[in-house]
Chain A
């Protein structure tokens, strides 16, 4: 049984769009951040599919780098969320509308 590569790409597009929608409709800062992680994962799936398609190992290595950068980004992002919560006492994005802490 074979699965066309395009099915994987369509799944990736669907996950990316769900991430965008989540970014727009969620009102909790931490869930918005989770939607960003969902978008990163969707793009990684495209990378792996194209690496398989063109027999390129470098596509998989790119995913590996994306994972490392995403781990660093998650650590810094969650530290910023903790700092915001300490300063404002809320995580609702509608109430966090000033750049000043």
Chain B
């Protein structure tokens, strides 16, 4: 059951990510990113992180992607123009991406014998456990983040405002 769910949603994740790269219209890319994020929420549930699964759906697949689609529609972005990028990016960038994947995968496969297995529902972190640590030990970072979000709101309004209305 766990294996089947993992395989199905991992396939959804990869298909969405590859579709993001293949689509030329930004709105299609945005919709495939929503597929990736929703499938990741299911994988979080399989790993026993139920609060994070809900937060992933609400914050990422909901709020952040609504912002993206809103901006795509607001700017009326059309099809991507096919200009050829720099030669250096092609010559160095793609081997570098393959090397990144190779290095990470090699390290994971090397460390595989030290890593355990995941079974369905073997260790569920409830919202209660999470909030106990968050509000007892990490209260200061939590409050600082709220200040960060306030500054981000002000910055976004200041940046997106039309010039000449000051």
Contact = CB atoms under 8 A, between A and B. Distances in A.
Taking residues whose C-beta sits less than 8 angstroms from the other chain, chain B's interface range is 35 or more
Contacts of A35: 20
B134 interface: yes
Contacts of B48: 52
Given A60-B130, A67-B59, A3 B115 contact: no
B72 to A, nearest CB: 6
B155 A76 contact: yes
A27 B80 CA distance: 7
Given A6-B115, A71-B64, A82-B75, A21 B94 contact: yes
A83 B75 contact: no
A25 B112 contact: no
Taking residues whose C-beta sits less than 8 angstroms from the other chain, chain A's interface range is 35 or more
B33 A38 contact: yes
A29 to B, nearest CB: 9
A30 B148 contact: no
B152 A22 contact: no
A61 B130 contact: yes
Nearest to B157: A79
Contact of A34 (B20, B55, B145, B157): B20
Contact of A26 (B10, B30, B74, B80): B80
A38 B151 CA distance: 24
A55 B148 CA distance: 29
The 8 closest A-B pairs by CB, nearest first: A72-B152, A79-B159, A2-B117, A79-B160, A79-B156, A13-B104, A17-B101, A18-B17
17 contacts: A4-B118, A11-B43, A14-B14, A17-B100, A25-B85, A27-B85, A37-B64, A38-B20, A52-B118, A58-B133, A60-B130, A64-B55, A75-B156, A78-B67, A79-B156, A79-B157, A81-B71
Interface of A: 1-11, 13-22, 24-28, 30-31, 33-35, 37-38, 41, 44-45, 48-49, 51-53, 55, 57-58, 60-61, 63-65, 67-76, 78-83, 85-86, 91-92, 94
